[in-house]
Amino acid sequence: MVFDFVDGGAEDEATVRENRRAFADVALRPRVLVDVSARPQGVRVMGQDLALPVVLGPTGLARMVHPAGEAAAAVAAELFGTVSVVSSGSSVSFEDVAAAVRVPQWFQLYPWGDRATIEALIDRARACRYRTMVVTVDVPVVGAREKDLRNGLTVPPRVDPRTAWDVLSHPRWLAGLVRSPKVTFANFAGLLPDARGTSGLAAATQGLLNPGHTWDDLAWMVAQWDGPVLLKGLMTAEDARRAVDVGCAGVAVSNHGGRQADSLPGALDALGEVVAAVGEQVDVLLDGGVRRGTDVVKALALGARACLVGRPWLYALAAGGPRGVERLLEVLRDEVDRTLALIGRPGVDTLDPSAVCVRPGRGW
Ligand code: FNR
């Protein structure tokens, strides 16, 4: 049930597959006899210097996979000179994540509930000294994650006969289950009673959503925040231009890892039109299907400033605990480093479209 929650996508999971397919349809174009003895990876993103072009993206309910939850992402990111984005749907509260690190992380806002609810979340994030506000706008309703529905996933997770059998047939899971604190939407406790309910995940969040939001509401949210705002979850040039018009300092091209609308192009397929539309004015980030350093290099070559990863850090946390997340960042950093050397690019700032070639006829 927990694996399916992390790994799964919406409906036929076509968008999930497209995210990976899009990377497979872009190849690297190596140059030789370039001095690649130094290969810096530092990037400036949302007015902040990061030591590597990878950000740990916002994912809710991380305690489902390990008791350390979202705090582990913040600690690992700080150690590697980058940041994590703390989700509104985090299972560790904004305050507890902020207390685990010295460097301010970014905070992700789900514009759930009414303006008073949103204001309360923003006030708390401000008090925690979060720096960049990431507003996620691709969840007007919850995508149909059929595996979660089939598994009867609830918040907090409940053990029914089927999951009990699952656990009993995997004795090693038992220890984790016993250690796991109750998994809830920590940031909504007391604010939205539904969030503590025991209905299915989709039903619980459904009660909090506000599908009526428009660009006017986003403009209001931007005005509430004193730092930079990154709009996450758009896939078109038109939306990217509007984001810039309302004052966003960055956009994240994202289809929510294929967990929302099914039948979308891969995120990398949409990167080109967004970079062409707003890349000169604001930072363009990308997520969806980034699994290797080569993927990061491809996205940067095509105009992204940095990539976010979602599932990879949850897999890492599940497999290796907090150290697993550190190991993930180490692996990605090493892969980017080696790839830069092997394709003759002395640093991520030397990447441009001539570093890749695109399979003819690829894309949409
Ligand atoms: C997410 N994602 C997400 N996004 C967001 O803005 N707020 C959130 O609370 C969550 N929660 C969440 C939970 C889980 C379990 C997953 C896997 C994803 C989406 C996430 O930020 C990101 O867009 C995708 O995960 C990127 O795709 P990859 O890296 O998982 O392929």
Is 340 domain-assigned? Answer: yes
Is 321 domain-assigned? Answer: yes
Is 128 domain-assigned? Answer: yes
Is 159 domain-assigned? Answer: yes
> What single-letter DSSP state applies at residue 294?
H
Amino acid in position 352: D
Mean pLDDT, range 170-183, rounded to an integer: 69
ipTM entry? 0.99
Entry pTM: 0.95
Q: Which residues lie with the beta carbon below 6 Å from any ligand 1 atom? A: 5-6, 19, 57-60, 87, 89, 108, 136, 232, 254, 256-257, 259, 287-290, 309-311, 314
Is 364 domain-assigned? Answer: no
Cβ neighbour number for residue 44 with a 10 Å cutoff:
12
Residue 149 has pLDDT above 60, yes or no: yes
Is 298 domain-assigned? Answer: yes
For ligand 1, the distance from its centroid to the CA atom of residue 310, given in whole angstroms, is 5
Give the CATH number, domain containing residue 257: 3.20.20.70
Q: Name the closest-CA residue to atom 16, ligand 1.
A: 59
Number of domains in the chain: 1
Task: For residue 161, give both structure tokens.
Answer: 């006969």
Q: Which domain holds residue 102?
A: 1-358
For ligand 1, the distance from its centroid to the CA atom of residue 257, given in whole angstroms, is 6
List strand residue ranges (DSSP E) for 199-318, in order: 229-234, 250-253, 283-287, 306-309
**Tens digit of pLDDT for each residue in 19-62?**
999 999 999 999 999 999 999 999 999 999 999 999 999 999 89
**Tens digit of pLDDT for each residue in 305-348?**
999 999 999 999 999 999 999 999 999 999 999 999 999 999 99
**Tens digit of pLDDT for each residue in 249-300?**
999 999 999 999 999 999 999 999 999 999 999 999 999 999 999 999 999 9
> What single-letter DSSP state applies at residue 265?
P
Mutate to test the pocket of ligand 1, among 97, 259, 287, 325 (most ligand atoms within 8 A of CB): 259
Q: Which atom of ligand 1 is nearest to the CA of 287?
A: 26
Q: What are the φ and ψ backbone dihedral angles of 309, each rounded to 5 degrees?
A: -120, 140
Task: Tell me if 60 is assigned to a ligand binding site.
Answer: yes
**Tens digit of pLDDT for each residue in 253-264?**
999 999 999 999
